[in-house]
Amino acid sequence: MDAVLDPRPAALPRAHGDPVLAAELRTSPEDFFVEELPGFEPSGSGEHLLLTLEKRGLNTAFVARRLAEWAGVGERGIGYAGLKDRHAVTRQRFSVHLPGREAPALETLAFESANGESLAVIDSTRHVRKLARGALAGNRFVLCLRRASGDRDAIEQRLRALAAHGVPNYFGEQRFGRDGGNLHAVLSMFAGRRVGREQRGHLLSAARSSLFNRVLASRVAAGSWNRGLDGEVWMLDGSRSVFGPEPWNDGLAERLARFDIHPSGPLWGQGEPRSEDEARRVEAEALAAAPGEALMKGLERAGLKQERRALRLRPGGLEWTWPEEDVLELRFELPPGTYATTLLAELGGIDDVAARPPG
């Protein structure tokens, strides 16, 4: 798509230099394993059955529908913390509203199809409330990159840099649809095309994410994505809480160095951005190019409010091994709302086999 419109991490500036690795991802679902990190301990009793399921080759919406049919409840009675990709092996929690009655036999929920799709029950217990979106502490990833090429010393040096300094917290390609098509769709919606309620939510999210990625890309290019500018708004690590602007001081420097706080960028909506001075100027310049104004005005008309998002992301517990000469396995954890693709983009050209166009 048009480079001006393309908000996907692979098309945006890298913070750590030129590519050092070329590889293939998701040659099979097992190459992309993701496990939700629970955000709370189950109560052990209550109206909701809390299930931990492992799925292969299935998306979250399909599993939610199967759960509703299995339990004999409406889809509104199913809860889950986040969406997980179809082309992967994933472990995630679901809740099923079953007030005053027992669940059907768990054995009748699990299945394995001839084409490799499967669903298994890992754990079950009761809980007092429906599982809410975002009710997780993060996600643990195990990614297997095959046909890996590049200088191994350079690759491992890059991985050490990512572990030590973090990566730009770009929104991932999932936000923007195949070939980034959601951004064209949202411009059409803002121009008057009618869309369904669920699609509207996805498109508003894509618009906001695109504007954020623009601001972050400008700061990556300028080398300021991981430091404060005059007028910076700071975000607490692992939180949506923000503070500032306030004058730069040794306390802020120490907190920034230990990843307690991060610079932030705008999630656009009604009202004035909280940033000031140089930080506000950088944001305004990044958003000025077409179609930034159309996206900002559309989000304001939709009633969204100004929010902030951290510009910097540090993967937790990043480790790697070489099971074979051309196979690199990565293990790491990320907080909710962040994307493994942002880390992979800093390594180089990762060909996502599952995302290739059909045929």
Residues forming the active site: 85
Q: How far is CA 41 from CA 37, 44, 53, 135, 153, in A?
A: 11, 9, 16, 11, 42
Residue 88 has a CB neighbour count (10 Å cut-off) of: 22
Identity of the amino acid at 171: F
Q: How many CA atoms lie within 13 A of 28 on its CB side?
A: 5
With residue 331 as reference, give the H or E element that holds it: strand 327-334
Torsion (CA) 172, 6, 20, 359 in degrees, nearest 10: 80
User: Can you give the length of the chain in residues?
Assistant: 359
Under 8 Å CB-to-CB from 348, ≥6 apart: which residues?
18, 19, 20, 21, 22, 23, 150
Residue 281's region, left for phi above 0, alpha for psi from -120 to 50, else beta, is: alpha
Compute CA distances 196 → 79, 138, 189, 201, whole Å.
21, 30, 10, 9
3-class SS string, 75-99 = HHHEEECCCCCCCCEEEEEEEEECC
Dig out the tokens for 221 from the structure: 């290019």
Rounded to whole angstroms, the Cα distance separating 55 from 298 reads 37
Among residues 44, 15, 9, the alpha carbon closest in space to that of 124 is found at 44
